Amino acid sequence: MGRKVRAMGFAMGFALASVSLSGYGQKARLTSPLVEDLCSRITKPSARDALLRQQDGVEDINNDGRPERAERCSGGEMETPCARYYAIDGKEILIVEEGFEWQDFQTFGRHAFRFRGHTFFLNSARHTPTHPVYVSYITPHNREHVVCEFRNERNEIVVASDGKYDRVCKAVASMSAQQDVVFADQGIVVPEAVRPRNASRDSFGSIGTARVDVDNDGKPDLVMQLSITSGFGRGCSASYFEILDDDGMRMHPEEKSHVFGEFQRPYWAVNCGSMSNRLFEYEGQIYYEGNALGTDDAPHVVAILEGAKIVEACTFQEAIQTTLFTVNERFLTTRSSGRAGARR
């Protein structure tokens, strides 16, 4: 019986949608089938993009049939999304979060869209809508409710740039390329000539050195692993590698040293410890893996230095799998839902 009622609600919502596309005016009643339909669409990237293109009438952020004027405001250090809204009469509209004030959602993107004549907000863990965290709805009483919550699982699809790298790429993807180059002699001081200009002495340190054929020409090279730290905030660090001259006092003068250094530049981004870089050996060759954990700060890559040429052997495409975690239907029956809310 319950199922049948839901199915009817869905059919009605669908029928009304066809007459509510032009701006404000008629809208389908907010019902749980409508909400469930909306929320399940958010999990599919193409359906989500289609939803976000529905902008006709989106200026009515609180679903009372009248448009508001939005002004961007600064979201502070974390660049969280922020906007102020004003009614036509110029009065600021203050929105009260209801039922999730205590919840610390980490969101950086907020995207308004229309669905069946209502305005909703997709709140994402990125500036882009690719990592949905929750959908919210603002009632004519300016109460904002969470409509549904999502979970995102991140996967990587590995691509070899050439057939000859297939094996190493697969090994990295399956985490079976585990032979990391070992850096010994911990605690040695970074030679002045190796420390980048403008870098303070205590922000750089040596993790160690290794004799390893980093450019794969059959002759071992002296490689130093360095760590760079930031004194700001939580104390963040990342590591990188330099090819040194045989005496260990300066950078190796040949082109390979420059090429390798330049390639690693994006991987120095200091991002609180989650940037993981390494040198590893696989079937007799030395490879560099940058951003092994695939954070947002740089692409995840496996590269090989062949003489003075660096080749990106494996690249990784991010694939986000979004699942619907909870649907909050309670707000549909709260009084503050007002006119737009369903009354049962």
Q: Give every strand in the sheet of 83-86, ordered side by side.
A: 69-72, 83-86, 92-93
CB of 326 to Ca ion, least distance (A): 27
Distance in Å, CB of 64 to Ca ion, minimum:
4
Q: Is 221 in the site for Ca ion (CB under 5 A)?
A: yes
Instruction: Give the nearer residue to Ca ion in terms of CB position, either 131 or 141.
Output: 141
Choose which of 213, 254, 297, 329 interacts with Ca ion (CB under 5 A).
213
Q: Please report which residue ranges of 54-207 form alpha helices under DSSP H.
A: 166-173
d(Cα 117, Cα 64) in Å, to the nearest integer?
11
- Considering only 144, 215, 242, 289, the residue that binds Ca ion (CB under 5 A) is 215
Specify the residue, 118 or 131, whose C-beta has the smaller distance to Ca ion: 118
Q: What secondary structure does DSSP assign to 279-321, as a single string?
A: EEEETTEEEEEESTT--TTS--EEEEEETTEEEEEEEEEEEEE
Pick the closer one to Ca ion by CB: 133 or 212. 212
Distance of closest approach, residue 26 Cβ to Ca ion, in angstroms: 15
Token pair of 287 as six digits: 């490879």
Asked if 93 and 142 touch (Cβ cutoff 8 Å), the reply is yes
The stretch among 6-14, 44-52, 205-213, 302-310 that binds Ca ion (CB under 5 A) is 205-213
State the minimum distance, in angstroms, from the CB of residue 261 to Ca ion. 15
Least distance (Å) between residue 216 CB and Ca ion = 7
Q: Which is nearer to Ca ion, 156 or 306 (CB)?
A: 306
Our CB check for Ca ion shows the closer of 24 and 268 to be 24
Instruction: Please check whether residue 67 is in contact with residue 95, taking contact to mean a CB–CB distance below 8 angstroms.
Output: no
Round to whole Å and give the CA distance between 257 and 194.
11
Q: Which is nearer to Ca ion, 196 or 307 (CB)?
A: 307
Q: Name the one range near Ca ion by CB under 5 A: 4-12, 142-150, 206-214, 240-248.
A: 206-214
- The three state secondary structure string of 173-208 is HCCCCCCECCCECCCCCCCCCCCCCCCCHHHEEEEE
- Give the residue among 54, 117, 123, 115 at the shortest CA–CA distance from 83: 123
**Which residue reads 């239907």 in tokens?**
329
Site mask for Ca ion (CB under 5 A), range 59-98, x = bound: -x-x-x-x--------------------------------
In angstroms, give the least distance from the CB of 66 to Ca ion.
4
| Smallest distance from Ca ion to CB 260, Å | 11
- What whole-number distance in Å separates Cα of residue 340 and Cα of residue 225? 61
Q: How far apart are CA 312 and CA 338, in angstroms?
A: 57
Q: In what order do the strands lie in the sheet with 204-212?
A: 204-212, 221-230, 236-244
What is the distance of C-alpha 259 from the center of its chain? Answer: 29
x/- contact string, 2-41, with Ca ion (CB under 5 A)? ----------------------------------------
| CB count in 10 Å sphere of residue 27 | 24
Helix H or strand E segment including 236: strand 236-244
Q: How far is the CB of 280 from Ca ion (least distance, A)?
A: 16
Q: Which of 219, 234, 343, 344 binds Ca ion (CB under 5 A)?
A: 219
To the nearest whole angstrom, how small is the minimum distance from the Cβ of residue 221 to Ca ion? 4
The mark string for 154-193 relative to Ca ion (x by CB under 5 A, - otherwise) is: ----------------------------------------
Binding residues vs Ca ion (CB under 5 A): 60, 62, 64, 66, 213, 215, 217, 219, 221
